[in-house]
Each structure stands twice: as structure tokens, then as C-alpha cells.
Chains A and B, each alone.
Chain A
Amino acid sequence: MLSKVTSYALVGLEGVPVEVETDINKGAVKYELVGLPDTAVKESRERVYSAIKNSSLRFPVNKITVNLAPADIKKEGSQYDLPIAVSLLIASGQLDADVEGTVLLGELALDGALRPVTGILPIIIAAKGKGFKKFIVPFGNANEASYIEGIEVYALKSLRDTYALLSGIENFKPLEMRSFEAAKSRSNYDCDLKYVRGQAVAKRALEIAVAGGHNILLSGPPGTGKTMLARCIPTIMPDMTFDEALEVTNILSVSGELNEDGIMALRPFRTPHHTATTVSLCGGGTNKIRAGEISKAHRGVLFLDELPEYSRSALEALRQPLEDGKITVTRVGGAITFPADFILCASMNPCPCGNLGSAERHCTCTPMQIRRYRAKISGPLLDRIDLQVEVDSVKYEELASDREEECSALVKKRVERARAIQRERFMGEDGITVNADMGEKQIKAFCALSPDSEKILRSAFERLSLSARARSRIIKVARTIADLDLSEKIMPKHVLEATSYRNFDSTKER
């Protein structure tokens, strides 16, 4: 007898339907699994055998052929255990059920229990798009699967339950829809700007960076709170919409890093260590192409601590995704595009010994050493970092003072206001949502400088010996500062403030 059960495969972040076809014939006892299975899928035979047997069912002793169609996609992962088992039961006549329109996913334990698998969310989203309405998933994936509307998801604990549900012996309730708002209110960031003492200059720069989606470089002596400041960036970013949250959850779901809640309500904050390789940052892999750190930081913050310590090639690889907001990883097996729209926050010491510009300690580096240290960050990468700020050491009085610092929620309000202005401005522009995305064309259209401002900018260039490429960067930042100021025009003071965030451009000759 022949049976067909639907399951799903993941190609990158895309779900692709896979038909599990089982045919049982008379003949020599044999079990054949075809359709480009990888090792984990091939091994499913042993798991399925034991699970069926331990669920008080019978594993057919005949010539069995299982085919995973389409045959040209590589099948990876363990989610085919359940559909294979079910199709075996149907084909052997033990289960009489109509499984058309049902998607089955799940790994089997030897005792027949269902184990959670990765990538449930993108699969459900893709299958829903194809018109599938009914899903059977492992109980461990229930949270993740319960945020999608308009479908029937059964989260079951074992093969026996699945048998009972499909044969109609027992009734199970489909999962209740959970609301994203509730998940949002459950989760909180562990840091807040109010716990960061002093550092008003850097805080202001963070606000500008987030408001305009600018990348930011914090430089300062060790132990001045650069990391702490960076951790606060997500707390002042606008809340994610449900669609954004799904994008983020998709990526983490596929890489199996999803939290208990099943959805990412908070913006991700990723801090890859500086020994990270290009592949781990950007994505790749030999068999399965996995998302890299930059994709896991999608819609959030990628924090690179001690920027000059990263390998040159890893840093250079960031240039294109920083520009496009996505990365296409190409391997022999095919090309996969991952989203990578993040704010880059980098930190570094001002010099190799770290004490340059420090009030208390003395810098022992020669100008040559400092130049060499800074040259580790290439011009093109620096080009994409609009704000360069100094973080200075905090005095003891400030640490000990009771002065109330501004909390993240207040800053976030201002950021949201500035973002709203930008959304309106870029209504007709494709793919541009924040000031940092502007190209030369948009700068011309939206960042007209008054003669006064133009004059100031010109003298700033001569006087502070800024590099030519700093120009559009300063104008973009000035636009954001004007937005924060709720000013339609870019005033001289906005340009002036923007010129003060260019630490790296002016100190070069010294």
C-alpha cells in the first residue's frame, strides 16, 4: 500500500514542502530511504523502528521504500521522524486517517516521545502561505508555534498521541493563540541608561545613533563603561513590531537559539568574540548554510568589542551587509540570502596602552604605534560608521553621586518621535527607513544646507582637516540631530554638533 504525508524542509530561512511517500510491498525484507537524506535523516530508521515498537504498534516486516520528494533538495535534520513513522503506519494499514492538508514535524525518541526540532516558525509561516491549515508539532515547540493566526496547531507529546489524534480515538485541543503584546510585557532588558553614571556625551551620541540608524564607534580607556553603554542601545530602540519580531525569531529558531517564550520580543544584542571568523560572523558552513552573527543581530545591535583585535578579513566582510542590510552566502550547495539589518556598535581603546586622553594615567605609546593601531580599521569600514565618540573615565564623585540619571524610556520616546519624522520623509523612497540609509540622491533631496550651514561646514573642513568622505557622514548625522530637535531645516548648530562626532577623522595627522 502507498501513503503520502506532508512535512517541511528548510532551505536557509525558507520552508519547502516535502512529501514523505511510503510504499510497502511483498518481497525480501528491506528498508530503503531515498530522496537525498543526510546522515541524521538516514538514522531515522532506527528511531522510527523503536518508537513504533514502543508505542505498542507494529513495524512492518516487508520491502519498504520511503521517498522524500522533491528528490533534488538535500534533506537535513530530524524533523522527518514523525512523518516517516505516520506514513509507515498508514501504509501498513494500522492507521486509517486522512492526512492531506496536515503538516507533520518532529523527532522521535526511542520510547515514542516527541522531541522538539529547530526551525518550526519559518516552516509554519511558509506552510500557511501554501494553504496548509493543520499542523502536528512536538510539545516542546508549542510556544513558538502559537503566535501564528488562522491555523490549527496540535502540540503532542508522543507518537501514541499522534496515532490517537489521527485515528480519532482521542480528541486533542489545538493550541491557543498567544498574543505578542503579552510576550512583550513579560520580557525586559536587564540594563537601563539610568544605571550608567555620567557619560553624557556618549549617551547623547547613542541617542543620535539609534534615532537615525547610524553605526557608532566608542573609543575610550579600558574600564570606562563602553560595554555597558553599548548594552543599553537596544533599550532605547523603538519596540519591534510583530513582523519584525517574527523575522528575528525565524533566524534564531532555525539556529536553535530560541528562548522559552518562543518569540523574540526584545531586540537582539549580539557580541561575537574578537576571535570570531568571517564565516561565524557572516554565515556559511559546509553542509548546511547557517546564519552568522550579523544575521542573528538583525533588527538589533551587533557589538564588536575591541574592534582592532578582530581579524581584518572578518571586518572587511561586514562592509557589504552594512550597506545592503542583508547578506547572500554562496556555497557549492547554493546561495542563500539572510537578512542583516543591524546597528553596528564598535568599541576600541584610543591607543595600544589604552590611556591616551585619560586624565589620571599616562599614555606610553609613540605616535607611530597609535597610527598603526588605528590603521587596523580600514577607511572603507570607517566610512560606514557615522558617529565616532570618545568615552572618558568617570570621576569618583560622579559614581558616588545620587544624581538621578535619565532613564531609557524617556530617551526612547524622543527616538520614536525622530523615527516617525523619518518614516514620513522616506515614504516614497524604496528601502530607506532611516537617515543612515540615505544615498547621495536622498541627501540632495532632504538635506539642503542653508548658506550659513554650508559656510560652517566648509570652514570646519579646512580647519579640522577632515577627510573628504566625512562630508556626507556629517550631513546625515546633522539631519538626524535636526530631527531630534524637531526642526525641518538643518540649522548651523546641528551641523556643528555633527562635526564634533568625528574623532577619528581629525586626529589623524597628529
Chain B
Amino acid sequence: MIYTKKEVDLIVADSLNGLNYTNKKLLLASQNAENFDRERYAKALQKALGESAFNKTLATFSDETYRKKLLQELDKRGIVCVTYKSTNYPELLKNTPTPPLVLYARGNLKLLEGELFAIVGSRKTIAAAYEECKKISRELSEKFVIVTGVADGADSAAAYGALDSGNVVCVLPGGHDSNCSTNVKVLREVEEKGLTISEFPFGQPARKYTYFLRNRIIAGLCKGVLVVSAAEKSGALNTASYAADYSREVFAFPYSPGITSGEGCNNLIKNGAYLCDCANDIFSVFGYEGKAEAAQSLDKDERIVLTLLKEEGETHLETIAEKIGKQLFEVNAVCAMLEIKGLIVRTGGNKYSAL
């Protein structure tokens, strides 16, 4: 990969240890600003770091062998850097208050040029929401590039839904190759078919606070955020609040009362988020023509069971059998068929729920 001088400066500055975001910016300014200002920035940095650290930092920064080694290592790991000064740096992210200086990316870089939409949620997501999320993600990925995290639960559902089209970007809470994901399977598949990006240099492990930093990138990259599931206190709500700060559209799944993993979503809707239960809700906000759902051909029994599930909500197999007056094993077959058709989902404990 070939970078311009300015890009390399950014990559090197970002790689230095012991510098925070402000100091990195000062360092860059002290090297690249107009003659008159350089002194001032250098002084400010010196004051912030102290004499010896400042000198050491400057020495490393301008060390040619260090730079060469760093770029070689990035190339070897297949990581491409998109810097703040690069032409392909996402425009929306650039306009946020604290855009990352460098985005480390692995996979299909073209995806960053598309229209991005985020789907986030908590690790604990009930089966019905999980399947719904997968479905919506699949539909949305035809127009949008889906941005999500790499955790279990809703994040994985969003990623799996969008994987077929390849329009999926995962933003990592730690550097690449740092075991920052509990769902390694989804991470590998996204690296292969989509794109993974991170603000952190490779190998830097995820910490509690890096998840919050990561959330600002998810919100900043996208035109809108869909919150699939969130308890009263949840990381997904953090993403949503960033999205609101950046004036992005926020969508949330509605939940019936009493489901812990949905309280946060309901609160969002109370506070003015869009209620969303199908892909068209999102398409219409952005002025896209949604596709009408292709009607599936159902036989009589399947229709009866589906109607029942839609009316009653989550229902036990035995209850269904009792209500429609059929043998249990017959109902079992009908439900399996409906599940295969993607119209209902098994929610655990031999219960089914309509989507």
C-alpha cells in the first residue's frame, strides 16, 4: 500500500504510545502547520508531555526505520489505513467532533463509500428479535451497507443477515488481531466477505472504555441507527445517544412490557425514536421505495397456525394443538414448515412466536 507523506505522518503519530487524541493532533500540527504556528504547537505539546518524553516522541516520530517497519508490518497483516487526510475517509465521520485520525481496515474498502446504516443491540436478544433483526438486516443490505459490532446476540444477527450481500462493516472495540470479539466465527466471515474497521492499532486489546469510543464511530459513520434490543442500561443506548448528538435518525424495535432486553428500546421510542418493525419503516424515512413482501403460499393449516400466533403472541406447542384441535405431532410439522418459511421462530421451551 502506498501512502502520501501526510498519511504516513498520521499513521506514525497514531502508532506512538503515551499520546492521547489531543496530543496526537498537537504533534501533527507542530510538524505540518504554517511556520509561525509550529513553535506554538510544539511548546504546547512540550508542556503537556514534559521535556524528556517530548524529545523521545519527536525522535521516534521522525525515525525513518521506525516508519518503514510500521508500514511493512501493516502490509504484512493485510491492514489498510484510511487516514483523516485520505480521500476515501468517510465524509459523515469526518464531520463529527472527534473523528478518528486513522481507521485501520481489513476487507472490502469500497464499502465505506456506500450509504451506511447501523444495526446494534445487546448480547442478550430474545429469539424473535434475533430472527427479525436478521431479516431486516438482509433486506436493508440491498440498499445500505450495514454497520455493526462483533458481539453475540443482535450484532451477530445483523452481521449474518447482511453477509450474503457482503454489505457489512464491523467496527471493532479493539485493534485487529486482538481477540476483541467473543464471536470469532462472525468476525472471520465478515473479514472475508465484508469489512472490519478499528480506530486502534493492531493488537491493542479491547477495554471497557474502548467500547464507548467504538460506539461513536458506529454512530458517526451512518445515516441512521436501528436499536434491536437494549436493556435499561445498555451499550446500544450509548450508540443511540451518539447518533442523536450527531443528528442521525434513530430507530428502535418495540417490545411488549416485561421483557428486560427491550426496556431500553421502548424508552428510545418514548423519547422520539422511530418505531420500526420492518425494513420499509426505515426505507420510507430515507425516501426509498421499499419492496412489498413477497407473499408466501401457505396451506390451510399453516394459515390457521400463523393467524393464531399473530393473535396470541408467543404460544406453546401444546396450546396451539389444543386451540386448533389437532394432534401435537401434526402441529409440530406445521410449525416446522412455517419456521422453514421464515414466518415464525422458536423461542425456547417449545414455544413459537410469529415474526
Contacts and interface: CB of A to CB of B under 8 A. Distances in A.
Interface of A: 198, 200-201, 204, 220, 350, 356-359, 362, 366-368, 390, 392-393, 456, 459-460, 463-464, 481, 492-494, 496-497, 499-500, 506, 509-510
B50 interface: no
A35 B341 CA distance: 73
B350 A390 contact: yes
Interface in B168-217: 182, 185
B337 A368 contact: no
Nearest to A491: B333
Given A198-B318, A357-B347, A368 B152 contact: yes
B267 interface: no
Contacts of B185: 509
Contact of B348 (A201, A357, A367, A459): A357
A392 B160 contact: no
A399 to B, nearest CB: 14
B244 interface: no
A370 to B, nearest CB: 9
Interface string B118-154: 0000011001001000000000000000000000110
A378 to B, nearest CB: 18
Contacts of B332: 201, 204, 496-497, 500
25 contacts: A198-B318, A200-B317, A201-B317, A201-B328, A204-B332, A357-B351, A359-B351, A366-B124, A366-B152, A367-B123, A367-B153, A367-B182, A392-B349, A392-B350, A460-B336, A464-B339, A481-B329, A493-B333, A496-B333, A496-B337, A496-B340, A497-B332, A499-B336, A506-B346, A510-B130
B336 A496 contact: yes
Contacts of A494: 333
Nearest to B185: A509
B254 to A, nearest CB: 21
Nearest to A465: B160
Nearest to A392: B349
A481 B341 CA distance: 22
A200 B152 CA distance: 33
Nearest to A365: B124
Given A201-B318, A368-B182, A496-B337, 9 more contacts: A200-B321, A204-B329, A366-B152, A392-B351, A460-B336, A481-B329, A493-B333, A499-B336, A509-B156
B316 interface: yes
Nearest to B157: A510
B347 A362 contact: no
Contact of B349 (A358, A464, A506): A358
Contacts of A481: 329
Nearest to A363: B124
A361 to B, nearest CB: 11
The 8 closest A-B pairs by CB, nearest first: A357-B348, A367-B152, A357-B349, A392-B349, A496-B333, A496-B336, A493-B333, A500-B336
The main secondary structure of chain A at its interface with chain B is helix
Question: Interface residue tally of chain B, by bracket?
Answer: 20 to 34
Given A204-B329, A367-B152, A500-B333, A456 B340 contact: yes
B342 A200 contact: no
Nearest to A393: B349
A366 B123 contact: yes
B153 A200 contact: no
B330 interface: yes
Contacts of B335: 500
B260 interface: yes
Contact of A204 (B328, B336, B349): B328
A464 B340 contact: yes
B340 A367 contact: no
B124 A463 contact: no
A13 B332 CA distance: 45
B340 A459 contact: yes
Contacts of B182: 367-368
Interface in B310-340: 316-318, 321, 328-330, 332-337, 339-340
A198 B350 CA distance: 12
Given A200-B321, A463-B342, A510-B130, A493 B350 contact: no
A393 B349 CA distance: 8
B169 to A, nearest CB: 20
B333 A497 contact: yes
A324 to B, nearest CB: 32
A393 B351 CA distance: 11
A390 B334 CA distance: 18
Contacts of B130: 510
Contact of A200 (B127, B328, B330): B328
Given A204-B329, A510-B130, A390 B348 contact: yes
